[in-house]
Amino acid sequence: MHRFVIDSSVLGTEKHLVGDLEGFVWSESVPRDGWHLTGDFKTSPSARCLDTLFKMHGHNLAEVPEKYLTAMKTLVTGSVPIPWKSVLPQEEFRKFFKILVQETSDVFPSLPFSYYETAWSAGTRVLSSFRPACIDTEVFAQIFDKTPASPGLESFRPKRSGFAHSVVYDRFATRTGRLTVVEGPNILILKKENRRIVKSSFENGIVAYIDFRALEARIVLAEAGRSSTAEDLYDDLSHLLFKGILPRDVVKTAVLSELYGISRASLKARLGVSDQKLDAFIEVIRKYFEVDVLRAKLKDQLSSQGKINNRFGRPLVIPQGQDNLLVNTYAQSSGVDVSLLGFDSILRQLGPEGIRPLFVLHDAMIVDVSRDRIEDVMSIKEVSIPTYMSPFPVKFEHLKED
C-alpha cells in the first residue's frame, strides 16, 4: 500500500502528516517508503517525489491565501519554513489544511507510481550522473571571435578549470517530456559544427555519441507488433516492402510523414510523384505501421480519460481537437523514456571507471571516454528496453567526425 507524506514545511506545522487509505498520523520523521510532498521537485534517484507525480497528473496543490503569502514575504527571507498553523487565523488554517489534505487523499490513488519507479527513476539516474564537460579553450576562442552570437555558444564558456558548468535539464517544459536545458551548457541549440569545442578530459580519450537509430519509427512499429533489428531501418523497409526499388530516403520521408502529419501536398512535392503512386505508396507504409490502429486506440483513451499515456504510463495532455498530434505525441514521449532507460542500462553496464556522461541530445547521449574504455563503448550495438520484445539498435560516433 502506498502512503503519502505532507511535509511540515508545506503545512506550517511542527510534524509531518503521513496518510494512506486507512487514515492519518503525525510523524516527526519522513518514512522512507512515503511519497514525499515538499513543494519542490526532488532530483535524487532514490527520492519518492510526490510533487513530481502531482505535476505529471496535472494537479495544482491548494496554497495559503495570497494575501498571507505576500505579507509573510515582507517579514521572512530565504527558505525558512513559515509556521502557518501559528501565523494564519485559526479558521483560515483549518480551511487550508482541510483542502490540502483532502485533495492529496483524493488524487493520490490515481497517480502513476509504476511509471515513476521505472522510467522516471531511470531518467533521474542518468541526468544526475552528468559531469561538467571539458572545453577546448583555443577552439572556443576561435569560434567565439568569428561568431560571438552563435546560439548556445556562450553557455559553454569554460571556467578557470577549463570545464563548463554542469547542465541542468527540465523534464516538464514540453508536452511530451522532451528535455530542455534550463542551466549550464545548452547542447540542444549549439550548432553542430561547434560541438568540437567539447574535448575529452582524459589523455588520448575521446568524446562520442551513443545514439538510437530511427527511434520513434521503431516505437510505432512495435505498437503494430513488428520490429526490425537492422541498423538502417529505412533501408530494411525499402527492401522488405518495395523490393529495394525505392531509395531509403524516400521511404524515410514517407514514414516520418505518417508519424508527424506532414501534409499530402508537401509529401507529394518532396517525393515528386503522381497522386496515384503517392496514395499506393503511403497505403503500404500506413498498413505496415498500423498507424490508423494506434491513432484510434489513443483517441479512445483520450475520450475516456481526458489524456493519453505513453508506453510506460506517463500521462500526456493533448489539446482539444488536435487528433493529428496523437501518434506524434505518443511516439516522442515514449522515445524520451526509451532513450533514458537505454542510457541508464548502458551506464550501469559500463560502470563509472573511465566514463564521464556529459549530455543528452534528444535520442543520443554524449560521453567522455578514456582511451582504455573506447572499445567497451564501441562494443555496445543494441540495448534491451522493458516491455519491448526486440532490442533497439544504437550506434557509436566520434564527436569530432560529425
User: Is 118 part of any domain?
Assistant: no
User: Is 297 part of any domain?
Assistant: no
Query: What pTM was computed for the model?
Result: 0.92
Tell me if 310 sits within 8 A of 334, measured CB to CB.
yes
Q: Which pLDDT tens digits describe the chain residue by residue (402 residues)?
A: 789 999 999 999 999 999 987 889 999 999 999 999 998 999 888 889 999 999 999 888 888 888 888 887 777 766 777 888 888 889 989 999 999 999 999 999 999 999 999 999 999 999 999 999 999 999 999 999 988 878 899 999 999 999 999 999 999 999 999 999 999 999 999 999 999 999 999 999 999 999 999 999 999 999 999 999 899 999 999 999 988 888 888 888 888 887 877 666 777 776 766 667 777 888 898 899 999 999 999 999 999 999 999 999 999 999 877 888 999 999 999 999 999 999 999 999 999 999 999 999 999 999 999 999 999 999 999 999 999 999 999 999 998 765
Range of the domain at 70: 4-111
Backbone angles phi, psi at 207, to 5 degrees: -110, 130
Backbone angles phi, psi at 316, to 5 degrees: -130, 130
- pLDDT of 83 reads 85
Same domain, 88 and 151: no
User: Is 134 part of any domain?
Assistant: yes
Same domain, 211 and 342: yes
Backbone angles phi, psi at 118, to 5 degrees: -105, -85
Domain count, the chain: 2
Cα separation of 346 and 377, whole Å?
A: 9
- pLDDT of 78 reads 66
- pLDDT of 401 reads 60
User: Is 359 part of any domain?
Assistant: yes
Which is it for strands 206-212 and 198-199: parallel, antiparallel or unpaired? unpaired
Same domain, 94 and 139: no
Tell me if 380 sits within 8 A of 346, measured CB to CB.
yes
DSSP-assigned states of every residue in 135-147: E-HHHHHHHHHH-
Same domain, 154 and 12: no
Same domain, 211 and 154: yes
Among 212, 187, 174, 213, which residue's Cα sits nearest to residue 328?
A: 174
- pLDDT of 88 reads 85
Instruction: Choose the final residue of a domain: 88, 111, 134.
Output: 111
Same domain, 101 and 166: no
User: Is 294 part of any domain?
Assistant: no
Cα separation of 354 and 347, whole Å?
A: 11
How far the first Cα of the chain sits from its last, in Å, is 50
Instruction: Choose the final residue of a domain: 111, 139, 169.
Output: 111
Question: In this structure, what CATH number is given to the domain that contains residue 169?
Answer: 3.30.70.370
